[in-house]
Amino acid sequence: MSGSEKLVVRNLYKVFGDDPAEAIALQRQGMTKDEVFEKTGMTIGVCDASFSVREGEIFVVMGLSGSGKSTLVRMLNRLIDPSAGEIIVDGSDIAQMSANQLIDFRRQHISMVFQSFALMPHLTVLANTAFGLELSAVSKADREARAMTALEQVGLAAWANSYPNELSGGMQQRVGLARALANDPSIMLMDEAFSALDPLIRCEMQDELVALQEEQKRTIVFISHDLDEAMRIGDRIAIMEGGRVVQVGTPDEILNNPADDYVKSFFRGVNVSNVLTAGDIAVKQQVTMMDREGTVRAALQRIAKHDRDFAYVVCKRQHYHGVVSVASLEAEAKTAKPQLHNAFLADITPVTADTSIGEIIGPVAQAPCGLPVVDDTGRYVGVVSRAMLLEALNREGADDA
């Protein structure tokens, strides 16, 4: 993920009422949202929101119903006009754009996917996908070519000539996604895009989005009320409460360092097995040794010295080679030419550091020793034992105790 800022929001407000400036002034003087409403009858939908979205990341905005998240995302392309503040995209403040400038900006830079599929039943899948391009006066040949490319990206090219009523709910949402992709936007806004889907299809669509993101590195602002969804797809998450952005961070940062009691309570029910990875909990407290010939007896001595039953073998560059045990070393020591690699235990497969701990519960339970963890180059990161896994899974309960 790039570190450059694609979208910057500064001190953004949305007030629903006759005199937004008065409501904003009262809020800045210290009044709460409820106090402003009681005094003026005006509602502050978004209150002094500031954050930045990096180029190529999935940035999830989440909060309870009424927190302001949908109002916020609709201000990012000015479907709702802000009452105050800045929305900077690639150095330009879209809050200050004229109507014509805004139309050009939307056509060139930004697309939106809604919760409702919003497909037109009388148009084919291809025509639905190309509809936005048709409104932008793109030639028929060009828009159909671009629409077909987008359908290929979401796996629906074979259904180009079908009609929406011939598709499942998940497929219809893929058409909505393809329609946004056909515009080739640098920013995609997704407002509760998968919430109308059943859980299994929803997970499939989340996987689809992450896979597309790996290939295309678009900047995506994704609105969700589902914590598991946010933790699953978000590079970073913004938590909203009462129109305010109360915390922004990676799933790990927010889970481990919640900004306040609201965020903490929000995350109390999170399934940590889907958030923490093997690399997060792996430790290097086990015995390690270099993979050299003729070191079987030395390995036995080293294990005995540290009162352990197993040792993890690495090369000079710290790449993982295998696991040995006291029993396997003793058996190998009795052979004519003992070799350390001949004492490696079979069926011990290392896991990568980015594997969620939910995926390693079975392998850790079945392994005779702590499971070795490696990075994407094969370098040894550490070991996950049953005890460490249980401690991680019990972390939430310990926090609540």
> What's residue 398's pLDDT?
45
Per-residue confidence in pLDDT tens, the chain, 401 aa: 445 888 999 999 999 999 999 999 999 999 988 999 999 999 999 999 999 999 889 999 988 888 899 899 999 999 999 999 999 998 889 999 998 898 888 877 888 877 666 788 898 999 888 887 777 777 888 888 988 888 888 888 888 898 988 888 778 888 888 888 887 788 888 888 777 767 777 777 777 778 777 777 888 899 988 777 887 888 899 999 889 999 999 887 887 788 888 888 777 666 666 667 888 888 877 888 887 655 888 888 888 888 889 999 988 888 999 999 999 999 988 988 888 888 999 889 899 988 888 888 888 888 899 899 998 888 998 899 888 888 777 654 444 44
> What's residue 117's pLDDT?
65
> What's residue 401's pLDDT?
42
Q: What homologous superfamily does CATH list for 288-395?
A: CBS-domain (3.10.580.10)
> What's residue 25's pLDDT?
94
So where are the chain's domains? 5-270, 288-395
> What's residue 288's pLDDT?
85
Whether 5-270 and 288-395 share one fold: the answer is no
Closest to 25 in 3D by CA, of 88, 68, 83, 80: 83
Number of residues in the chain: 401
CATH classification (class only), 5-270: alpha beta
Closest to 11 in 3D by CA, of 56, 72, 62, 63: 72
SS3 2: coil
> What's residue 120's pLDDT?
86
Place of tokens 């409702």: 116
> What's residue 207's pLDDT?
79
292 DSSP β-pair partners: none
Burial degree of 161 (CB within 10 A; 0-12, 13-18, 19+):
exposed
CA distance 195 to 213: 19
> What's residue 133's pLDDT?
78
> What's residue 292's pLDDT?
67
| Contact between 190 and 28 (Cβ < 8 Å) | no
